[in-house]
Amino acid sequence: MIEKIEPWIQGKRVLLLGFGREGRSTYNVLRRLGTCSVLDVADQLALEDQPEGIETWISGPDYQSCLNDYDVVFKSPGVVLERPAEEYRCQILSQTEVFFQCFRDQIIGITGTKGKSTITTLLYHLLKHAGYDTILAGNIGIPVFDLMEDIRPETIIVCELSCHQLEYMTVSPHIAVLSNIHEEHLDHYGTMEKYVRAKEHIFLNQRPEDVLICSVQCLPEPGECVSRLITACPAFAEPPLDRYWKEKKTPVRQDAPSLCVEENENATIIRYEGTVYRIPQDRIRLMGQHNYFDIGFAYAVCRILHMSEEDFTKGLIDYEPLPHRLQFLGELNGVKYYDDSISTICETAIQALKTLKDTDTILIGGMDRGIDYRELIEYLSRSPVPHIILMEATGKRIFEEITEDYPEFENMQRLIPAEHLEDAVQIAKEVTRPGHSCVMSPAAASYGIFRNFEERGERFRALVFAEQPENTVF
C-alpha cells in the first residue's frame, strides 16, 4: 500500500524538514520505497546518531535556506516555514497531505480548538465496538504513513487533525467535523484570522458529495463550503460562544440539517434529522455539557454510517475517557481532586466550573501566550467558587488585570497568587473544604514549565497524593 506514495517522490530530490516522530516515519517509508534520487534532512538541531542513506544533514539557524534546492519537501507539523509556502519553488508536502490524497474518501477528519481528541477516540471506539473495520490516525498518535499497510478499501479512517497539520492542506476529508474555534496558538499564527483559516482547511477543499458537521459558532462563509452542511448547536451554551465569533456574525444556514444537543427535564438529549436520543448520563464516564456536545458530533457521524442506536449506546457506555480531561484522580481528606490539565483556553476552565458545581478551589495559570482572558475573568467574577489560585505567568497577568481593570470583580479576596504548581497545590490543600472539589483547569499552556500538558497533569497528581496516601480513595 505504501507504493501509493511513489508518484510524489519518484526520481525527485527529497528533503525532510524536521526529524521528530513524523520525520523519522517519513524517512523509514521513503527508504523502503527507494524511488527518490536524493533524501536529505533539514532540522534546527543536529543529531549525533544520523540515519543511513542521508547524504546531507542541514542544521543551525539557517536550516531552511536550502528548501529550493530540492524538488519535494516533506514538512513536519511542528516546523514553521520562514516564508509563505507559495513563495518556494519546491513542492511543500506533508504526511497528512499525501495520506489524504490517497485515502480521502475513507477519512473522517476531526478538528477544533478543544474536544477533538475526545470526539476522535470516542468515534473510533464506537465504530470498533460495533464491528466496523476502522483505524485511528492523525494528531492522536501514530504517524499516518505507518498505518498505510493496514488500510483496506472498506476501512474507515478516523483522523484527528491539528491546526498545524491543516495549515497547508489542499485536500479535505469526505466527512469533516469542526467542533469549535477559540482563541489559541496566537504565538504561532500572530492573528486569530490566520489561525481560523488553518482550521477551515478541513472543509475548504471538500466536494459536493462530502459532509461537514460544523458548530454554528464557526460556520463557513456563504459560498465557501460545497459539501452537505450539518449545523451543530449546543442549546445549553450561553451565546456568544466566543468573542471573535460574536464579531464574525456568519448567518445560520436555514436549509442545513441540524444537530442540537440540549438539556431537557434533567436529561441531555441529541436531536438529529428527526431522531431524538437521550444520553445515558448515569451510565457513562464522560462528564459535562461540553462532552455531551462531543457525543452529539459522534452520534451524527454514526448515524451517517448507519450505526444502530443500540450499538451506539453500548459503545458509549463502554468508552473510557482520555486522561487529563476533567479526570477524577481520587479523594484525599474528604476533598475530591480533578485533573483538567488539557485546559489551555478560557472556555475549558469555565466548562470545568460548570460541570463540577461543588468546586471549592480552582488552579489557573501557566505559560502566557497572550490570549484574551476577559471571558474567564468575567465568569470568575460571577462564579461562587471561593478559592481561585492564580499561578505562573498567566496567573500573575490575570491577577494584575483583575486588580487594575476590574474594580467590580466580586469578592476579590478569593484570588490567591501562587508562584508555581507546587505552591498552588500546597495552598489548595490548606484552603479546600472537605466535601468539596479541587480542580486544576489552567486555561493556559504548559510549555516552558512542563514538556506537555500530560506531564503537568501527572505532576499535579503526584503533588496532591504525596502525603498520607493511605487516606486516598480511588
Nearest-angstrom CA–CA distance, 440 and 463: 12
**In the structure, what pLDDT confidence band is assigned to residue 254 with cuts at 50, 70 and 90?**
low
CATH topology of domain 327-471: Protein-Tyrosine Phosphatase; Chain A (3.90.190)
pLDDT for 403-412, tens place per residue? 999 999 999 9
The pLDDT of residue 253: 52
Residue numbers in the known binding site for ATP are: 112-118
Which pLDDT does position 221 carry in this prediction? 81
Predicted confidence (pLDDT) at residue 244 exceeds the cutoff of 50 = no
Tens of pLDDT, residue by residue over 412-463, are 999 999 999 999 999 999 999 999 999 999 999 999 999 999 999 999 999 9
Residue that the C-alpha cell 471571558 belongs to: 375
| Contact between 403 and 413 (Cβ < 8 Å) | no
- C-alpha 312: how far from chain center: 23
Q: Say whether pLDDT at 7 is over 80.
A: yes
Answer yes or no: is pLDDT of 257 > 80: no
CATH fold group of domain 7-93? Rossmann fold (3.40.50)
Instruction: Give 401's DSSP letter.
Output: H
Q: Helix H segments across 333-452?
A: 346-355, 374-382, 392-405, 421-431
pLDDT at 45: 87
pLDDT tops 90 at residue 465: yes
How far apart are the two ends of the chain, measured CA to CA in Å? 45
For 62-79, the pLDDT digits (tens) are: 999 999 999 999 999 989
Cell numbers standing for residue 468: 498520607
Domain with CATH 3.90.190.20 in the chain: 327-471
For the chain, where do the domains classified as CATH 3.40.1190.10 start and end?
96-318
- What is the pLDDT at residue 22? 92
Which pLDDT score is estimated for 303? 97
Instruction: Reply yes or no on whether the pLDDT at 48 is more than 70.
Output: yes
Q: Calculate what percentage of the chain has a pLDDT beyond 70.
A: 93
- Per-residue pLDDT averaged across 291-309, rounded? 97
* pLDDT for the residue 371: 87
User: For residues 19 and 43, what is the distance between their CA atoms, to the nearest angstrom?
Assistant: 6
pLDDT band at 467 (very low <50, low <70, confident <90, very high): low
Site of grid cell 513536519? 76
Local confidence band at 240 (pLDDT 50, 70, 90 cut-offs): very low
Tell me: pLDDT of 392 over 60. Answer: yes
Q: How confident is the model at residue 142 (pLDDT cuts 50, 70, 90)?
A: confident
- Category of 128 on φ-ψ map: left (φ > 0), alpha (ψ -120 to 50) or beta: alpha
Q: From the annotation, which residues make up the binding site?
A: 112-118
E-strand stretches of 203-314? 211-215, 228-234, 258-264, 267-272, 275-278
Determine contact, residues 435/360, Cβ cutoff 8 Å. no
| pLDDT value, residue 470 | 44
Fold of 96-318: UDP-N-acetylmuramoyl-L-alanine:D-glutamate ligase (3.40.1190)
pLDDT, position 4? 92
Long-range CB contacts for residues 460-466, cutoff 8 Å, separation at least 24: 460/329, 460/339, 460/341, 460/363, 460/421, 460/425, 461/329, 461/337, 461/339, 463/421, 463/422, 463/425, 463/426, 464/329, 464/332, 464/337, 464/425, 464/429, 465/329, 465/330, 465/332
Residues 197-236 have pLDDT tens digits of 999 999 999 999 999 999 988 888 877 888 999 999 887 6
